[in-house]
Structure 1
Amino acid sequence: MTRQHHLRGVLLASVACILWGISGVAASTLFINNPHITPLWLTQVRMISAGIIMLVWAQLAGTKPVTIWQQHHDTLQVICYGLLGLIPVQLCYFEAVKVGNAPIATIIQFLGPFIISIYYLLFKHVKPRRAEAIGMVMAFIGTLLIVTHGHLTSLAISPVVLFWGGLSAIGVATNTLIPRPLLPKYGALTITGWGLLIAGLSLLVLKPLWTVSLKLTLMEIGLIVVIVLLGTVAPFFMFARSLSDILPTTASLLDAFEPLAATIFSVTFLNVQLTGFDLVGGLLIILAVMALSLNVRKMMAHLHRQTE
């Protein structure tokens, strides 16, 4: 791997994470400007549109995305990925953005890797290493600062924000773990495309998006396009492409750009006010996830040896 390829991979992963952060700010802008736009409606539009685009893209690339439906076990797994992985990571995140703000929602969602660590501890009996244990403590302190602002007897943010943010963090874990066996076989475009489409269509059961009467301005339509194309399709492609140039551990470290971008753009364009406790807590969580990411490869190698 040349230095030029490594720099390209770092740039692609960084831009992808920044775009994911911006999509949260775009959603927050929509919720503020148009109270009739709900997280459910926006998630449906985002998932169905992005899913169709990715599947068409996969077909044009010659990967034949429909072949997954010929395997019963793989079909069931991709359905679980859509329902248990993508719905919480996207719908619950938008719910947290609506009732709170993009920076806090993104930071809480950023706790997802620690849920993965807990999963491996409970179900795979892979004990956390020193860096992971330190990271968990840092993340706990950071979350505590954000939630209480130093006053342990009261909450500084709404319990509803914590609820939806917590579910989105769990979604990060399920979104990462469920599709892993399918990716080498079918490719990321096919798996993510079907997962998004299945998730989006299933949400129509709650309330079909065409029954919602909305009057959208050109700016609001533009923001929706930003969320679908620049906040979903483009960063997915960039991040997936970056993995051919850099290690997954390096890419996961660059995930820190997502909460940073959400914070910077929210403060700059939406005039979101963050306290010192929010900033220090967010920084602790970001550093904690970095500490965890440095040990992900060792943890996965250890798990692989156990299953051989």
Structure 2
Amino acid sequence: MTNKKVLGTVMIIVACTFWGISGLFAKALFNASTEITSMWVTQTRMISAGIILLIISQFKGDQPFKIFKNLHDAWVIFAYGFFGLVPVQYGYFMAVQFGNASIATVLQFLGPFFIIAYVAVFRHIPPRRIEIISALIAFAGVFILATHGQLNHMAITPLVLFWGLVAAVGVATNTLIPQQMLRTNRVPSLVVTGWGLLFAGLSLLAIHPAQPHVPNLPIVWICWLGILVIGTLIPFQLANNSLKYIDATTFSLMDAFEPLAATIGSVLLFNLHMTGMDIVGSILVIVAVLAINIRIPQHHEGENIA
């Protein structure tokens, strides 16, 4: 493994761990007040982080407003924000709000299978046998998580399952849309992340302008800052930079650290009780995603979704 690939791998591990921790801040925020909504958290997080990153990029000399001279680049970044960042963040927070950080991150972890589906449909690259087997294992894992093996019983609500899968789709689009732009260094990653977040946040604000009454409590602002800094500013920049050195499959593989951090944190901080079925289902999903990253050099899998 080259030094650059090691660097990219470490960057995405830290990013995914921070994303897992951010789910814990979000759960604490929702517990602090029923007035606080996932929409408000997503809007304020994205807009604030986007503005901060763009200010930093301006001071670095990245010329963030230069993207508007190239409408294609501007459109790609808007698409990254609206079709990538919105579902991955809003879907995730909705799953956390109505469930918990652990189940939200496990469902979000299904993102690589949507990448495989995209590659098969739009790039006409059929899935490998291991990918088909892994998809079946992942489906079994989600089925166990959702029903605990009982067809007439839902262990998690359909709402949590739906928003968790929306977040998983967002993982795929969030990974694929900006990858070519970042790899060619056509636009600095700080600019891509900053505008993507700002476009996404402003789009949600336009769609849903009504704002809730947020109580002015220390715990609220501490958790919100934790989401902004630990859950947004640091990990999104690390993740985008990592795509310069690693492919999308390695990116997805390292994402295993997110459900791990969220689950451990939920057990320690929120007394989450995981049944045997929860553990089995989570393990099946994680193992399935790890399995699709098994490398067979002569097939050059990493090129499939680059």
Report the TM-score when normalising by structure 2.
0.90
Task: Label 1:2 to 1:81 Cα distance change in 2 as closer, same or farther (>3 A).
Answer: closer
Note the C-alpha offset of 1:203. Answer: 1.2
Per-residue deviation, residues 109-141 of structure 1 (Å, max 9, x unmatched): 110110110111122221111221221111111
Is the CA contact (8 Å cut-off) linking 2:179 and 2:243 kept in structure 1? no
Q: Matches of residues 128-207 of structure 1 in structure 2 within 5 Å?
A: 128-183=127-182, 184=184, 185-207=186-208
Q: Given the alignment of the two structures, is residue 16 of structure 1 paired with residue 15 of structure 2, yes or no?
A: yes
Quote how far apart the aligned CAs of 1:86 are. 1.0
The DSSP-based 3-state class of the residue aligned with 1:37 is: coil
1:108 equivalent in structure 2: 107
Match of 2:270 in 1: 270
Shift of 1:154: 2.6
RMSD: 2.3
| Cα distance change of structure 1 residues 182 and 34 upon mapping to structure 2, 3 Å threshold | same
| 8 Å contact kept, 1:108–1:169 | yes
Moved more, 111-120 or 55-64: 55-64
How far is 1:56 from its partner? Answer: 1.6
SS in 2 for 1:147: helix
Q: Is the 8 A contact 2:18 2:231 kept in 1?
A: yes
CA contact (8 A) 2:115 2:305 kept: no
* 1:58 alignment partner AA: S
Give the whole-Å Cα distance in 2 for the aligned partners of 1:89 and 1:36: 22
Which ranges of structure 2 fall in alignment gaps of 5 or more residues? none
1:248, CA displacement in angstroms? 5.6
Contact 1:55 1:193 in 2 (8 A): yes
SS of the aligned residue for 1:175 comes to: helix
Contact 1:131 1:295 in 2 (8 A): no
8 Å contact kept, 1:139–1:285: yes
Instruction: Decide whether aligned partners of structure 1 residues 252 and 171 sit closer, same or farther in structure 2, where only a CA change above 3 A counts.
Output: closer
Classify 1:239/1:74 alpha carbon distance in 2 versus 1 (closer, same or farther; 3 Å).
closer
Kept in 1: contact 2:138–2:285 (CA 8 A): yes
Structure-2 separation of matches of 1:82 and 1:143: 27
Q: Is the 8 A contact 1:126 1:303 kept in 2?
A: no
Deviates more, 1:195-204 or 1:286-295: 286-295
CA apart distance, 1:158: 0.4
Instruction: Give me the whole-angstrom Cα distance separating, in 1, the residues matched to 2:115 and 2:253.
Output: 15
Question: Number of matched residues?
Answer: 302
Q: Which residue of 1 aligns with 2:239?
A: 239
Distance in 1 (alpha carbons) for counterparts of 2:2 and 2:113: 32
Distance 1:276 1:101, change over 3 A: same
Q: With structure 1 as the length reference, what TM-score do the two structures score?
A: 0.90
Question: Matches of 2:124 and 2:2 in 1, distance apart?
Answer: 37
1:83 is the counterpart of 2:82: yes
Unaligned runs of 5+ in 1: none
Residues 234 and 25 (structure 1), Cα distance of their counterparts in 2 relative to 1, 3 Å cut: same
